Structure 1
Amino acid sequence: MKYKMALKWTALGALPNLDMRSKVFVGEHLALVGAEDVRYQDALANGLNLQTFLSKFEGNHGQRLRPSLLVRSDAYPDRPNSEAISSFMDIVTACVVIDSRVRAVTWRRNVGPFYTDAFEIYPWMIDPEGKRLVAQNAAQWAVHELDRFRGIASAAVPVQEVGYDPTHPRFFKQLLAMWKSRFIDGNDDWRSRAVLRSLKMAASAMCLSSPTGSTESFYDYGRILSLWVSAFEILVHPGATGKANRQKVLDLLKTIPWQSKMAMEETHPADFGGGKTFNVRLANALYVKMYELRNDFLHGNPVEPEDFLLPNGTSILSFPPAIFRMALSTMLLDPDAVTREQAMSGLKSRDEYLQHLSTTRYRSDCEECLLAAVKPQPPDDE
């Protein structure tokens, strides 16, 4: 969807660790844009001394940076609150970092922003009058002089470029519709609340374990796994009249339309505790292991590092993003979907069907990632 550039855009925050090249993450009310985007230029024109503020950012070794910007349009009925901003950023990170993590497993190398920390909004921002800097978060409320400011990117994560592939515009469009319904239209339905709240847990699970990223320990794995299990449980929670549990998550995972026989067949053993082992689908077996490990960690039961390893040597922590992405796809309305039957009958054109296949290729990526949990692993030098 294209929006009229008659809208006036105003900067809300700078992201020095992000070089946003993609123009996908744009809504009518909020957008995350890079320096080449017309909305970025509009924000510079509308922000007194904003250009000066942004020119003061450097990398950790003195290199000049051009921070990306979170911008708001004048179509927004009021200044967005922190929940609306945080939720919007969770949507963006879900569209980028989940896919990066899936491909890191299938390609066996890091192919993009692996941690959501790269999307952190810098705590200092120039005030609307362009006269001073203001920092406001849970740790501080402070003001300072612009002339003395020196902005610097986080030392914990590299400055990351986000290009046009992969960014999954359809996924963003689906999630943005939920965000708009809640924060702009005021429709606080449980489904959108559950999805957006679940994304917050997923975003937290994909953060660095510490501010420096250098002190990660075995115990951090339990925290990460706990956040992922929480994300799944929130996703299936029925609302005030019910509760989430392991079976509800397993029921959701069983509806995922995997393509391969290995992923679909109920031949993968899962230990449900109490001496009960059943054969289930692969995604379900992996979730059962996640769930039991989470319980052991949170309850203080004995847990060893090798408990995180699957029989083929892969880590259980490699697979929650792919399963979560596919679980989400079963819950989001997709008005642009085109089926093979529609194309065969002439209701949709061949080009429309090919475009659908292109924009839903994440399914193949997620399935390939999932199968890495049971296939023999190639040598590290391959």
Structure 2
Amino acid sequence: MNLKWTALGVLPSIDITPTYFGGDYLALVGLNDHRYRDALANGPNLLQFLQKFEGSHGESLRPSMLLRSDAHPDRPTSEAISSFLDIVIASVVLDVRVRAVTWRRNVGPFYSDSFDMYPWMIGPDGRRLVAQNAALWAVHELDRFRGMPSAAVPVQQVGTEPAHPRFFKQLHRIWKSQFIDETDDWTSRAILRSLKMATSALRLSSATGATESFYDYGRILSLWVSAFEILIHPGAAGKANRQKVLDLIKTIPWQSRMLLEEVHTADFGGGKVANVRLASALYVEMTNLRNDFLHGNPVSSEDFRLANGTMILSYPAAIFRMALATVLPDPEEVTREAALSGLKTHDEYGQHLQATRYRNDCEECLVAAVMPRPPDDE
């Protein structure tokens, strides 16, 4: 099917190189994607608009673009667009966060701010620029425009690592069911709503270190806890609570002995203390801090630091990534038993293992919460 692609907006702070962030309706693409070139051909003065973007020091940029195809039944709603970007962010930034802990260096866009759409866009007639949001409604002339990426986050490339095409496909099925097929089931809605909260939790806490406060940590942690609670919420007939989240975390198929041992102390309040698995202990600590922060109880910056000196905010992404993997159906999963029995080939099993390496990364990340912290110069 030959689809006609048109631009909905530009993302100047990200350089997309993979071609799998999309389907037949929406796509997030970079310069070398054929759909990018199609959009240029279908957008009057779109190329001139894009050529007016440059970095803060004058370097030339070519923004990535969010595109819509003519297969979309009508213009996408803002909710559909926002949710689509959420599933891209989840497919990239969660694993960047995990690897930043295990590799002790940044390996890609660390903040969801990198995926912000630029507020100005060339109009359909190619004559005027238009900006519209809750704070601004304006038009301007193309000739006088100078576009820039975010001043708060660096322009970064999204390559084939650590982005996960299989994870994106799982999330895209849910997105399509909700916004294209209009199958409004609670599970899909809860997952996408949870991702919206995770996107907020993954945002930069402050545009400059001069204004950052540890109270920002409390806000971010509160968003993470909310993401977990939304994910497990049973619907109108029930409610979410800490125990339901812990029940989900306990079903995660951990492989590491350190993740399976119930030897980590968790304070459940009211004098109740129990030994639980590491991920559960971290989540209990997250909820305790969240409650203290939101209820106005005394908190300090040291409360966000674990016994080995690492920050508790280093670990929600790994737990959330594994929780999502546990609740999302994976039609492409290949078990070891299926490979041994001949139902699947060894190559198929190898590809499955390659696609699920994130599990090892997540486990290694969580182990860092209790291991001695290595020197900063290593």
TM-score (norm: length of structure 1) = 0.98
Shift of 1:22: 1.3
Q: Matched residue of 1:374: which SS?
A: coil
In 2, Cα distance between the equivalents of 1:106 and 1:237?
31
Aligned counterpart, 1:11: 7
Which of these residues, 268, 275, 294, is aligned with residue 272 of structure 1? 268
The C-alpha deviation readout for 1:249-269, integer Å capped at 9, x for no partner, is 000000000101110111111
Q: Determine the C-alpha separation between the residues in 1 that align with 2:282 and 2:70.
A: 46
Q: What pairs with 1:288-303 in structure 2 (closer than 5 Å)?
A: 288-303=284-299
- Contact persistence 1:156–1:213 (CA under 8 A): no
Q: Does residue 240 in structure 1 map to residue 236 in structure 2? A: yes
Most deviating of 6-15 and 213-222: 213-222
CA distance in 2, matches of 1:204, 1:278: 32
Answer yes or no: is the 8 Å Cα contact 1:209–1:215 preserved in 2. no
Distance 1:260 1:26 in 2: 34
Alpha-carbon shift at residue 311 of structure 1 (Å): 1.1
1:374 correspondence with 2:365: no
Partner of residue 38, structure 1: 34
- How far 1:214 sits from its partner (Å)? 4.6
Partner of 1:307: 303
Give 5+ residue unaligned stretches, structure 1: none
- 1:72 maps to a residue whose letter is R
CA contact (8 A) 1:222 1:297 kept: yes
Q: Does 1:53 align with 2:49?
A: yes
Deviation by residue 1:206-246 (Cα, 9 ceiling, x = unmatched): 10123446521111000000000000000000000000000
Q: Is the 8 A contact 1:181 1:187 kept in 2?
A: yes
What letter is aligned with 2:87? I
Q: Are positions 1:82 and 2:90 aligned together?
A: no
Matched-pair contact (CA < 8 Å) for 1:57–1:151 = yes
- With 33-42 and 17-26 compared, the bigger mean Cα shift is at 17-26
* Identity rate, percent: 74
Matches within 5 A, 1:1-382: 4=1, 6-212=2-208, 214-382=210-378
- Corresponding letter in the other structure for 2:252: I
* Distance of aligned partners of 1:213 and 1:173 in 2 relative to their CA distance in 1, 3 Å threshold: farther
Amino acid at match of 1:229: V
* Separation of aligned partners in 2, 1:212 and 1:283: 32
**Structure 1 CA distance for aligned equivalents of residues 208 and 40 of structure 2:** 32
Q: What is the RMSD of the two structures over their aligned residues, measured on CA atoms?
A: 0.8
Q: CA deviation at 1:109?
A: 0.9
Take 1:40 and 1:215, find their aligned partners in 2: how far apart are those partners?
A: 38
Task: Give the SS at the match of 1:151.
Answer: coil
TM-score by length of 2: 0.99
2:368 partner amino acid: A
Runs of 4+ in structure 1 deviating by more than 6 angstroms, as ranges, are none
Distance 2:154 2:301 in 1: 28
Secondary structure at the aligned position of 2:269 is classed as coil
Superposed CA deviations along residues 135-163 of structure 1, whole A, max 9, x for unmatched, are 01111111111111111111100001001
Q: For residues 84-105 of structure 1, what are the alpha-carbon distances to aligned partners after superposition, in whole Å with 9 as ceiling and x for unaligned?
A: 0000000000111110000000
